[in-house]
């Protein structure tokens, strides 16, 4: 602002200043205007400068570490090491990025403001070192539709994180997209992380997330759920039971071994089911029937270690017929060794048997051991046969020797048993 150092105050200047001040307070000062002829008071000049250079009007401030754009309705507080959600978030914010911070804990009402952040629809808390999300953390965000909590090492996710503290009294949340990829702390090297977490909170991470997905019927409108890269070994039986609107379920890159206990029956709107990069061995009849019963679904099953034994028969039969598996020709056996890399859809059902599956190295070593034992046995019998006369003589000798020996024992036994002779025998030590 050039006017700050101007010299002589002109007549009538005070009135002009007053008028300007009023304009500023009303937020009508534009950046381009100030060809201010003369303002002697440095205080008022500073006020003018700040008012003119701040883009959003003073009624909706932007928190210091953030960038705000009222036109785009977006607030970005990115990579700022913030340890709490800024208090003075502008109420026009529709999209809020709080990524790359150090929030650690998200308490109840972390976004409750006066006036409320009624416009906020998308909230991204990715990579902000969150360890705890408390009940009602997203309360007072009535318009929240998309929530991204990915890449946070969550140790405690309250069952009521996505509903109100007062779950019974809460209205269903408007949330339609919930992104929870990579929300489990990476295991410390050389330590079983699942065991570790169980000990810490007496609950598996799977059931912790499952409980939050069920609680309070809050997620009845959810249509997108991403749970990729979470080391999940299983999904709790009723984890999906309160998500009737689900269209897109991403379970990629977990460690799911089986889907037997999971029901997809009620997910009638499901369109995409991502199960790539898990540890699935086979899908059983019940699961196959449920998936086939969904009208619009596409299922993605790549990169699972399918086991091509007798349990695979139903799945292979189903795969040949079904249209719902995306890229079914890419699915190959991982075990047993003799079937490795064979396409599931091209398997001959007659080849699918349940011989005890031993690693091939072990199989050959067992065969070898058997042959060696048989050879030794045969040689032994042959030797016996060739020496049958000698053996007979040898047997007689042994029998005689034994008889002599036994008689000796018998004699000693009688001596020991005879109380009159006991002292004698023990003294002489036979
Ligand atoms: C955040 O913290 C890291 C390490 O503590 C530091 O290197 C980085 O400069 C900090 N960033 C800001 C914006 O303060
Ligand atoms: C949230 O922010 C992260 C980091 O910038 C980004 O990778 C991710 O795509 C964002 N999530 C959404 C839903 O846009
Ligand atoms: C929770 O709801 C009950 C009744 O539904 C009410 O009595 C109670 O005050 C509520 N508690 C809070 C913290 O809002
Ligand atoms: C942990 O779980 C076991 C069995 O479910 C229960 O008996 C025990 O009380 C729990 N401990 C804590 C601290 O919650
Ligand atoms: C799969 O998950 C692991 C563990 O969460 C992660 O380190 C890895 O980057 C993920 N891979 C992909 C392709 O996302
Ligand atoms: C499916 O929905 C019905 C009716 O809405 C309900 O009774 C049943 O428990 C649900 N089943 C599962 C597995 O969620
Ligand atoms: C699976 O279903 C098919 C066809 O519905 C049936 O022929 C087969 O016997 C079933 N398999 C098992 C193990 O129940």
Give the number of domains in the chain: 2
Q: Residue 303, by phi and psi: left (phi above 0), alpha (psi -120 to 50) or beta?
A: left
Q: Which of 39-43, 135-139, 177-181, 293-297 has the lowest mean pLDDT?
A: 39-43
Q: In the prediction, which pLDDT does 152 show? A: 95
In a domain, 238, yes or no: no
Say how many Å lie between the CA of residue 230 and the centre of ligand 5. 8
Q: Is the C-beta atom of 266 inside 6 A of ligand 6?
A: yes
Is the pLDDT at 21 greater than 50, yes or no? no
And the tokens for 298?
């596409």
Q: Ligand 6 pocket test: which of 210, 217, 241, 242 has the largest number of ligand atoms within 8 Å of its C-beta?
A: 241
Q: Is the C-beta atom of 416 inside 6 A of ligand 7?
A: no
Determine whether 23 is exposed, middle or buried from the number of CB atoms within 10 Å of its CB (0-12, 13-18, 19+). Answer: middle
Summarised one tens digit per residue, pLDDT across range 198-242 is 455 567 889 999 999 988 678 989 999 999 999 999 999 889 998
Say how many Å lie between the CA of residue 97 and the centre of ligand 2. 8
Say how many Å lie between the CA of residue 335 and the centre of ligand 7. 22
Is the pLDDT at 378 greater than 70, yes or no? yes
| Partner residues linked to 225 by β-bridges | 178, 249
Q: In the prediction, which pLDDT does 397 show? A: 87
**Which residue in the block uniquely carries the two structure tokens 């009638």?**
268
In a domain, 401, yes or no: yes
Say how many Å lie between the CA of residue 417 and the centre of ligand 1. 94
Q: In the prediction, which pLDDT does 139 show? A: 87
Q: Which atom of ligand 3 is nearest to the CA of 166?
A: 1
Say how many Å lie between the CA of residue 92 and the centre of ligand 3. 30
Say how many Å lie between the CA of residue 316 and the centre of ligand 7. 11
Q: Which atom of ligand 1 is nearest to the CA of 81?
A: 1
User: pLDDT higher for 206 or 20?
Assistant: 206
Answer yes or no: are the C-beta atoms of 90 and 61 closer than 8 Å: yes
| Report for 41-45, 375-379, 418-422: range of highest mean pLDDT | 375-379
User: pLDDT higher for 72 or 163?
Assistant: 72
Is the pLDDT at 391 greater than 90, yes or no? no
Summarised one tens digit per residue, pLDDT across range 148-182 is 999 999 999 999 898 876 655 556 778 999 999 99
Instruction: Please state whether the peptide bond connecting residue 272 to the residue before it is cis, i.e. omega within 30 degrees of 0.
Output: no
Task: Give the chain as a 3 state SS string.
Answer: CHHHHCCCCCCCHHHHHHHHHHHHHCCCCCCCCCCCCCCCCHHHHHHHHHHHHCCCCCCCCCCCCCEEECCCCEEECCCCCCCCCCCCCCCCCCEEECCCCCCCEECCCCCCCCCCCCCCCEEECCCCCCCEECCCCCCCCCCCCEEECCCCCCCEECCCCCCCCCHHHCCCCCCCEEECCCCCCCCCCCCCHHHHHHHHHCCCHHHHHHHHHHHHHCCCCCCEEECCCCCCCCCCCCCCCCCCCCCEEECCCCCCCCCCCCCCCCCCCCCEEECCCCCCCCCCHHHHHHHHCCCCCEEECCCCCEECCHHHHHHHHHHHHCCCEECHHHCEEEECHHHCCCEHHHCCHHHCCCCCCCCHHHHHHHHHHHHHHHHHHHHHHHHHHHCHHHHHHHHHHHHHHHHHHHHHHHHHHHHHHCHHHHHHHHHHCC
Q: In the prediction, which pLDDT does 47 show? A: 46
| Partner residues linked to 273 by β-bridges | 249, 299
Rounded CA gap, 113 and 50, in Å? 25
Question: Mean pLDDT, to the nearest integer, of 78-97?
Answer: 94
Say how many Å lie between the CA of residue 295 and the centre of ligand 3. 41
In Å, how far are 135, 187, 284, 345 from 107, measured between CA atoms? Answer: 7, 25, 42, 51
Nearest CA to ligand 1 atom 1: 81
Say how many Å lie between the CA of residue 276 and the centre of ligand 4. 34
The radius of gyration of the chain's CA atoms, rounded to the nearest angstrom, is 40
Rounded CA gap, 81 and 202, in Å? 31
In a domain, 378, yes or no: yes
pLDDT classification of 403: cutoffs 50, 70, 90: confident
Q: Residue 265 CA: which ligand is closest?
A: 6
Q: Is the C-beta atom of 276 inside 6 A of ligand 7?
A: no
In a domain, 187, yes or no: no
And the tokens for 87?
């208090």
Say how many Å lie between the CA of residue 158 and the centre of ligand 3. 18
Nearest CA to ligand 7 atom 8: 314
Determine whether 366 is exposed, middle or buried from the number of CB atoms within 10 Å of its CB (0-12, 13-18, 19+). Answer: exposed
Is the pLDDT at 20 greater than 70, yes or no? no
Q: Which atom of ligand 1 is nearest to the CA of 65?
A: 13
Compute the mean pLDDT over every residue in the chain, rounded to the nearest whole number.
80
In a domain, 103, yes or no: no
Q: For residue 309, how far is the Cα from the chain centroid?
A: 29
Q: Residue 213 CA: which ligand is closest?
A: 6
Residue 297 has, within 13 A of its CA and on its CB side, a CA count of 27
Answer yes or no: are the C-beta atoms of 279 and 305 closer than 8 Å: yes
Q: In the prediction, which pLDDT does 201 show? A: 56
Q: Which atom of ligand 2 is nearest to the CA of 124?
A: 1
Q: Is the C-beta atom of 83 inside 6 A of ligand 1?
A: no
Question: Mean pLDDT, to the nearest integer, of 394-421?
Answer: 70
Rounded CA gap, 180 and 197, in Å? 18
User: pLDDT higher for 418 or 114?
Assistant: 114
Q: Ligand 1 pocket test: which of 81, 100, 103 has the largest number of ligand atoms within 8 Å of its C-beta?
A: 81
Domain span at 42: 1-6+25-53
Please choose, from the candidates 308, 245, 289, 297, the residue with its C-alpha nearest in 3D space to the C-alpha of residue 271: 297
- Other CB atoms within 10 Å distance of the CB of residue 380: 10
Nearest CA to ligand 1 atom 7: 81
In a domain, 97, yes or no: no
In a domain, 357, yes or no: no
Percent of the chain topping pLDDT 90: 50
Please choose, from the candidates 143, 105, 91, 151, the residue with its C-alpha nearest in 3D space to the C-alpha of residue 124: 151
Q: In the prediction, which pLDDT does 190 show? A: 56
Rounded CA gap, 134 and 158, in Å? 5
pTM: 0.71
| Partner residues linked to 386 by β-bridges | none
- Torsion angles phi and psi, residue 178, rounded to 5: -125, 120
pLDDT classification of 186: cutoffs 50, 70, 90: low
Say how many Å lie between the CA of residue 156 and the centre of ligand 6. 28
Is the pLDDT at 258 greater than 50, yes or no? yes
Q: Is the C-beta atom of 274 inside 6 A of ligand 5?
A: no
Q: In the prediction, which pLDDT does 366 show? A: 72
Summarised one tens digit per residue, pLDDT across range 357-366 is 555 566 667 7
Q: In the prediction, which pLDDT does 307 show? A: 94
Q: Is the C-beta atom of 80 inside 6 A of ligand 1?
A: yes
Q: Is the C-beta atom of 78 inside 6 A of ligand 1?
A: no
Q: In the prediction, which pLDDT does 349 show? A: 87
Q: Is the C-beta atom of 195 inside 6 A of ligand 1?
A: no
Q: Which of 91-105, 172-186, 251-265, 402-416 has the lowest mean pLDDT?
A: 402-416
Nearest CA to ligand 1 atom 8: 81
Summarised one tens digit per residue, pLDDT across range 303-333 is 999 999 999 999 999 999 999 999 999 999 9
Please choose, from the candidates 101, 45, 44, 96, the residue with its C-alpha nearest in 3D space to the C-alpha of residue 75: 96
In a domain, 417, yes or no: yes
Percent of the chain topping pLDDT 70: 72
34, 53, 72 - which closes a domain: 53
Q: In the prediction, which pLDDT does 130 show? A: 95
Question: Mean pLDDT, to the nearest integer, of 274-296?
Answer: 95
Is the pLDDT at 270 greater than 80, yes or no? yes
Nearest CA to ligand 2 atom 1: 124
Question: Mean pLDDT, to the nearest integer, of 114-134?
Answer: 94
């Amino acid at each position: 602002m050039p006017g700050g150092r101007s010299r002589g105050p002109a007549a009538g200047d005070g009135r002009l200043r007053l008028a300007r001040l009023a304009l500023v307070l009303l937020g009508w000062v534009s950046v381009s205007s100030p060809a201010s002829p003369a303002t002697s008071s440095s205080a008022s000049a500073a006020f003018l400068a700040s008012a003119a250079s701040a883009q959003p009007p003073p009624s909706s401030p932007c928190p210091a570490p953030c960038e705000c754009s009222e036109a785009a309705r977006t607030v970005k507080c990115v990579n700022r090491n913030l340890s709490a959600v800024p208090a003075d978030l502008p109420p026009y914010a529709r999209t809020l990025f709080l990524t790359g911070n150090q929030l650690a804990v998200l308490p109840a009402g972390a976004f409750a403001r006066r006036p409320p952040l009624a416009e906020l629809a998308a909230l991204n808390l990715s990579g902000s070192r969150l360890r705890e999300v408390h009940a009602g953390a997203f309360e007072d965000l009535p318009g929240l539709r998309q929530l991204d909590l990915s890449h946070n090492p969550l140790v405690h996710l309250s069952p009521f994180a996505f509903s109100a503290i007062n779950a019974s009294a809460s209205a269903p949340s408007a949330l339609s997209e919930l992104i929870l990829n990579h929300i489990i702390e990476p295991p410390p090297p050389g330590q079983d992380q699942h065991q570790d977490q169980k000990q810490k909170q007496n609950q598996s991470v799977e059931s912790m997330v499952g409980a939050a997905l069920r609680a309070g019927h809050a997620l009845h409108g959810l249509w997108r759920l991403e749970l990729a890269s979470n080391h999940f070994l299983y999904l709790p039986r009723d984890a999906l039971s309160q998500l009737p609107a689900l269209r897109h379920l991403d379970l990629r890159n977990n460690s799911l071994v089986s889907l037997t206990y999971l029901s997809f029956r009620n997910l009638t709107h499901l369109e995409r089911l991502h199960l790539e990069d898990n540890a699935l061995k086979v899908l059983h009849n019940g699961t196959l029937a449920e998936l086939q019963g969904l009208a619009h679904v596409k299922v993605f099953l790549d990169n699972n270690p399918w086991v091509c034994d007798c349990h695979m028969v139903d799945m292979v039969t189903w795969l040949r017929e079904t249209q719902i598996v995306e890229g079914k020709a890419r699915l190959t056996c991982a075990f047993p060794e003799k079937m490795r890399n064979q396409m599931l859809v091209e398997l001959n059902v007659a080849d699918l048997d349940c011989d005890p599956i031993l690693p091939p190295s072990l199989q050959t070593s067992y065969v070898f051991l058997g042959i060696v034992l048989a050879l030794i046995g045969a040689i032994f019998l042959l030797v016996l046969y060739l020496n049958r006369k000698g053996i007979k003589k040898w047997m007689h000798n042994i029998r005689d020797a034994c008889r002599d020996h036994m008689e000796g024992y018998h004699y000693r036994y009688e001596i020991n048993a005879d109380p009159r002779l006991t002292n004698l025998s023990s003294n002489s030590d036979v």
